[in-house]
């Protein structure tokens, strides 16, 4: 799913990078100093989850879990996923550097969309219904991600359109896997530690400008 350096045209790279910079900005506002450890450890967990492989017949796919990432982290999914892709590109040689903005947008935009569409269902309803919302979020995030990849490729040239279609169809089994997996994870979290769902996504960034503008003050208030 990672797009490599050299495949995209300059305007596509510029648009993707602009979206990612804006998303990271909004995400960082969700991370006052007292939330930094939680954001750091949770994003490291999502990084590790993406190293898990599931075998489908003779081949295997790695998890993306960007739907779950959006449900748990909200807008903070943007910086979290950016850091994950950056470290992967540098230390594992996976993905690309000039396209990192596009690659981040491709998985973080669906994460934020899932956050807005599925969060209410995941948090408010019974654990069983929450699991169904989790499944919707898990599948939707992958579908949207393949859609974004396809869009980025097809804007870069018509010759990429067959590859983009292939990406979409190749990911249908991944959607099914991630749907079941996200549902199970959401069910477990609702049963064991529902506070996890309030750690980040309690309010959208525009609803908490005061907290974001005065992180030191909010830290002081939690300390007292």
According to the binding rule CB under 8 A, does residue 202 interact with another protein? no
The nearest distance, CB 81 to another protein, in angstroms, is: 11
Measured CA to CA in angstroms, residue 201 lies from 112, 139, 149, 162, 182 at distances of 10, 20, 26, 37, 17
According to the binding rule CB under 8 A, does residue 83 interact with another protein? yes
Task: Give which of 171, 188, 184, 183 is closest to 62, Cα–Cα.
Answer: 171
According to the binding rule CB under 8 A, does residue 22 interact with another protein? no
According to the binding rule CB under 8 A, does residue 92 interact with another protein? yes
According to the binding rule CB under 8 A, does residue 216 interact with another protein? yes
* CB-based contacts of 175, cutoff 8 Å, min separation 6: 138, 139, 142, 143
Of 53 and 120, CB closest to another protein = 53
Binding-site string for another protein from residue 42 to residue 81, where x marks contact by CB under 8 A and - marks none:
xxxx-xxx-xxxxxx---x-xx-x--x---x------xx-
Written in H, E and C, the secondary structure of 154-165 is HHHCHHHHHHHH
* CB-based contacts of 125, cutoff 8 Å, min separation 6: 133
The nearest distance, CB 117 to another protein, in angstroms, is: 19
Among residues 16, 70, 96, 137, the one that binds another protein under rule CB under 8 A: 96
């Amino acid at each position: 799913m990672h797009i490599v350096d050299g495949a995209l045209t300059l305007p596509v790279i510029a648009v993707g990078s602009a979206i990612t910079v804006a998303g990271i900005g909004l995400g960082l506002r969700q991370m006052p100093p007292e939330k930094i450890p939680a954001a750091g450890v949770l994003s490291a967990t999502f990084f590790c989850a993406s190293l898990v492989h599931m075998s489908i017949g003779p081949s295997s796919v790695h998890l993306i879990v960007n739907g779950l990432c959006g449900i748990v982290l909200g807008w903070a999914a943007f910086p979290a996923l950016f850091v994950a892709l950056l470290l992967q590109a540098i230390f594992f040689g996976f993905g690309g550097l000039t396209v990192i903005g596009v690659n981040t947008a491709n998985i973080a935009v669906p994460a934020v969309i899932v956050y807005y569409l599925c969060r209410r269902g995941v948090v408010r309803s019974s654990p069983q219904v929450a699991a169904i919302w989790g499944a919707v979020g898990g599948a939707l995030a992958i579908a949207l991600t393949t859609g974004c990849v396809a869009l980025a490729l097809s804007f870069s040239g018509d010759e990429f359109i067959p590859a983009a279609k292939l990406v979409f169809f190749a990911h249908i089994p991944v959607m099914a896997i991630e749907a079941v997996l996200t549902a199970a994870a959401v069910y477990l979290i609702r049963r064991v530690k529902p506070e996890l769902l309030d750690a980040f996504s309690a309010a959208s960034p525009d609803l908490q400008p005061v907290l974001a503008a005065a992180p030191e003050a909010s830290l002081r208030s939690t300390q007292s």
